[in-house]
């Protein structure tokens, strides 16, 4: 992995990163990316020094998403995980009865994630489920939050707009 400024000047290099096929996340001065072994890596944005690496036995399926001091991701086993952005320690892990999840979205103290049966909202700090919307199709798109409304598309051919 290479850090490059807008003038195309190389700032730093981190060996062993592999191909980045998921969107990185920024939190607490670090870039959070998946490495080639589907682990989550935190790299200092200024120096390029690796801060920590978290291995997930199931492999991380979604792009990481940053909240306030926390990074969230969905894995291939159907778990949603919250990780401390500074240390890489797992804060909580949520496993519903479903097996697939979308890339999560964080807004206003909640984490929103789609799955095989609809959309779920969880408390970002605790991982406790706040509410769920069942749809007639899988929600595999990333939810978007704007002005207190969550927007998400479903494979039932509907675009949902839910007041939070």
Query: How confident is the model over 64-116, as pLDDT tens digits?
Result: 999 999 999 998 888 899 999 999 999 999 987 766 889 999 999 999 999 98
pLDDT in the model for residue 157 = 95
The residue among 59, 62, 56, 70 whose CA lies nearest residue 21 is 62
* Residue 119 backbone class (left: φ over 0; alpha: ψ -120 to 50; beta: rest): beta
pTM value surpassing 0.75:
yes
Question: Taking a C-beta distance cutoff of 8 angstroms, is the pair 114, 122 a contact?
Answer: no
Q: Which token pair is 92?
A: 């909580």
| Those residues with Cβ within 8 angstroms of residue 62's Cβ, 6 or more apart along the chain or in another chain | 22, 73, 74, 101, 102, 103, 104
């Amino acid at each position: 992995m290479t850090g490059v400024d807008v003038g195309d000047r190389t700032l730093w290099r981190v060996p062993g990163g592999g191909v980045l096929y998921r969107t990185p996340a920024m939190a607490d001065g670090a870039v959070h990316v998946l490495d080639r072994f589907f682990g989550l890596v935190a790299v200092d944005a200024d120096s390029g020094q690796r801060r920590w690496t978290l291995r997930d036995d199931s492999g991380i399926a979604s792009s990481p998403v940053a909240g306030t001091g926390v990074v969230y991701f969905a894995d291939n086993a159907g778990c949603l995980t919250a990780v401390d952005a500074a240390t890489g320690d797992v804060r909580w892990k949520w496993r519903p009865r479903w097996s697939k999840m979308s890339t999560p979205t964080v807004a206003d103290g909640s984490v929103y994630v789609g799955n095989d049966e609809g959309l779920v909202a969880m408390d970002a700090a605790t991982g406790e489920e706040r509410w769920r919307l069942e749809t007639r199709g899988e929600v595999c798109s990333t939810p978007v939050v704007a002005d207190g409304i969550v927007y998400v598309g479903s494979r039932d051919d509907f675009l949902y707009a839910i007041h939070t």
